[in-house]
Structure 1
Amino acid sequence: MTSSSFDRFCRTVPRRSVVTCFAASAAGSSNSGGDLNPYEVLGVSPIEGFDVIKAAYTKKRKDAERRGDEATASRLEKAYDKVMMAQLSNRKKGVTFGSFKVSKDIKFADKQPIVPWGPRFSKSSDQDTRINMAISAVFTAWVLIKQNAEYKPLQFLSFVFVYRIFEKLKAFEPPVSPTFTEDGEDPGRGVRMGKRLLRSLALVFGCIAFTSLAYTGLLNLIEFVGGYIPAFLYNNQEPLVTVTSALFLYIMASYYR
C-alpha cells in the first residue's frame, strides 16, 4: 500500500501512538463475530473492491474442490458469506470509504428468494461426488439384480442420502455463537439439528415423490392419448422408480443443499 493510500484510510493519534484504520471498521473487524477472519481466509485486504474479493474466493474454492478438501471449501464459503453480510450492512447504513463500495452482485442480497425452502445450488467436493455416485450405483445394481425386493433398496437408499445431505448442510452452516443455559447446555443446538434433519428429509423424499408422480403421470398420459402401456413399463414400477430416484438423489446430494 502506498503512503497516500494509507493516509486516505487511516489516521494516527499522536498522544497514544494508535493507528485507527477506518477500512477495517467499514468491512467488519477481523475479530468480530468469532475468531474467523474472513479476509485472512480469503487472502485479501479489507479495502479491496468486492470484485477482487469474489475472484479470490472463486479461485480458492475451485482449488479446494479440486483437492477434495471439503473443510477448506466450507471455511472459504463462511468467510465469503461474512464479507457479503458486512457489505450488505454497510449498504443499508450508507457507509462508504474511498473505493470500498458494495458490489452490484449483493445489491439485493437482503431480499428473500421466491422459494426459500427449495434446493440451493452448492457443489460438493469431488470426493463426496464420487461417494454419492458409488452409493447410487450400488443400490441401482441391487434393485436391477433382485428385480422385486418390495422397495427395500429404495428405503435404504433414502436413509443413506438423508444422512449424506444432513452432513452437507452441517458443513455449510454459517458459524453461530452458542448460548448456554445454567446447566451448560446449548438449547439452540437441538433446534439447528432439527432444521437440518427436516430439510434433509424434505429434499430426499421430495425427490422420491417427484419420481413416483412422474411414473404415474407417464402411465396416465399414455392411457389418456389412447395408447398401449408397454408391459415392461407396467410390470417394472419398483426398479424404474428406484433407479430414477437414485439418479435424482445423486444429483441432489452432489450439487444442491
Structure 2
Amino acid sequence: MICGLNCASQSVTFSQVLIGVSPVEGFDKIKQSYGRKLKDAHRSGDEATAPLLEKAYDKLMYSQLMNRKMGVTFGSFKVSKDIRYADKQPIVPWGPRYSKSSRNDMLINLAISAVFSAWIVIKRTVEYKPLQFTSFVFVYRIFEKLKSFEAPSSPTYNEEGEENGRGLRMGKRLLRSLSLVFGSILVALAYTGILNFIEYMGSSIPITLYNNQELIVTASSALMLYVMASYYR
C-alpha cells in the first residue's frame, strides 16, 4: 500500500514536470500549459511526446477529481472550482464566467479602454466611432481569451487537408465573444434609453446629461468591456 501511494505520488509529480506546472496550479493553468506543449509537439513533429502529454494531462485531472472527493488540500493548493463543481451547472449556462486574465493582458485591456475613452473625452462628439472601435477590439481580445480555454485535442484532418471541427469551434467562440461584448454595450446604452423615456414622459433632463450621452455611454462601455475581458469569459 505504501509503495502504491508513493508510486502514485511520483507519477503525479512526473506529470506536473512534463506539463510544466507546479502542485499549486489550478485547472485552467494546467489546461493552458498542456495545450501549449501539445501544440508545440505537433508543430515540431514530436510524435513520441504527444501521447505522454495526453497521459500526464489525464493523470493530473484524475488527481484533482480524487482530491475533490476526499476534500484534500496541500498548503495553498486547492482543487479548482471547475473540478469541484463540475457536476453543477451554472444558473445561466451561457452567461459570463469568472476567469481572471494575466496581469499583462489586464494592462493591455486597460490601455485599450483608456485610449478610446480619451478619444471621446477630447472630441466629445464623433458619432460613436470610439465605441465602435472599442467593441471590435474587445471582440478580438475575448475571442483569443476563449481560444486559450478550449480543451486541447489532437487534430484530425479530412481528405482536403482541413482540420475537422475547426470552423465550428471558431464560430462558437466568435458568437460568444460578440454576445459578451454587445451585451455589455447594451447595459451601457440603457442610460440613453432612460433619458429618452424621461423625455417621453414630459419631464425635463439636465442639459449636461443630455449633451454628454455619447461621452457617458462610450466611457461606461469601455469600462465594462475592460472588466469583461479581464475578469470573465
Q: TM-score, normalised by structure 1?
A: 0.65
Cα deviation for residue 74 of structure 1 reads 2.9
Could you say which structure has the higher helix fraction? 2
Work out whether residues 42 and 76 of structure 1, in 8 Å CA contact, stay in contact via their aligned partners in 2: no
Matched, 1:142 2:109: no
2:33 counterpart SS class: helix
Letter in 2 for 1:205: F
Letter in 2 for 1:74: Q
Pair 146,108 (structure 1): closer, same or farther in 2 beyond 3 Å: closer
Work out whether residues 198 and 204 of structure 2, in 8 Å CA contact, stay in contact via their aligned partners in 1: no
Query: Match for 2:93 among 116, 121, 126?
Result: 116
Letter in 2 for 1:168: K
Cα deviation for residue 223 of structure 1 reads 8.0
**Alignment correspondent of 1:5:** 2
Pair 208,241 (structure 1): closer, same or farther in 2 beyond 3 Å: same
Matched, 1:160 2:137: yes
Report the aligned-residue RMSD: 3.6
Cα deviation for residue 231 of structure 1 reads 0.8
Q: Which whole-Å deviations, capped at 9, do the CAs of 1:141-190 have from their partners, x for residues lacking one? A: 11111111111111111001111111111122221232221222112111
Query: Match for 1:246 among 217, 222, 229?
Result: 222
Pair 77,176 (structure 1): closer, same or farther in 2 beyond 3 Å: closer
Work out whether residues 68 and 84 of structure 2, in 8 Å CA contact, stay in contact via their aligned partners in 1: no
Number of aligned residues = 201
Alignment of 1:8-157 (within 5 A): 8-9=4-5, 23=8, 37-38=15-16, 40=18, 41-43=20-22, 53=23, 56-57=24-25, 74-75=32-33, 85-86=61-62, 102-104=69-71, 106=83, 108-157=85-134
Q: Which whole-Å deviations, capped at 9, do the CAs of 1:3-44 have from their partners, x for residues lacking one? A: x621x458xxxxxxxxxx6x48x98xx8xxxxxx4564334x
Structure 2 Cα separation of the partners of residues 137 and 231 of structure 1: 26
Alignment of 1:169-248 (within 5 A): 169-217=146-194, 220=197, 228-248=204-224
2:165 counterpart SS class: helix
Pair 5,179 (structure 1): closer, same or farther in 2 beyond 3 Å: same
Pair 120,154 (structure 1): closer, same or farther in 2 beyond 3 Å: same
Q: Which whole-Å deviations, capped at 9, do the CAs of 1:87-124 have from their partners, x for residues lacking one? A: 58x77xxxxxxxx6724564541232211111111111
Pair 183,148 (structure 1): closer, same or farther in 2 beyond 3 Å: same
Q: Which whole-Å deviations, capped at 9, do the CAs of 1:205-252 have from their partners, x for residues lacking one? A: 01001110144236646987x964211111211111000000000111
1:142 counterpart SS class: helix
Work out whether residues 124 and 255 of structure 1, in 8 Å CA contact, stay in contact via their aligned partners in 2: yes
Letter in 2 for 1:253: A
Pair 178,237 (structure 1): closer, same or farther in 2 beyond 3 Å: same
* Structure 2 unmatched ranges of 5 or more: 37-52, 72-78
Pair 149,238 (structure 1): closer, same or farther in 2 beyond 3 Å: same
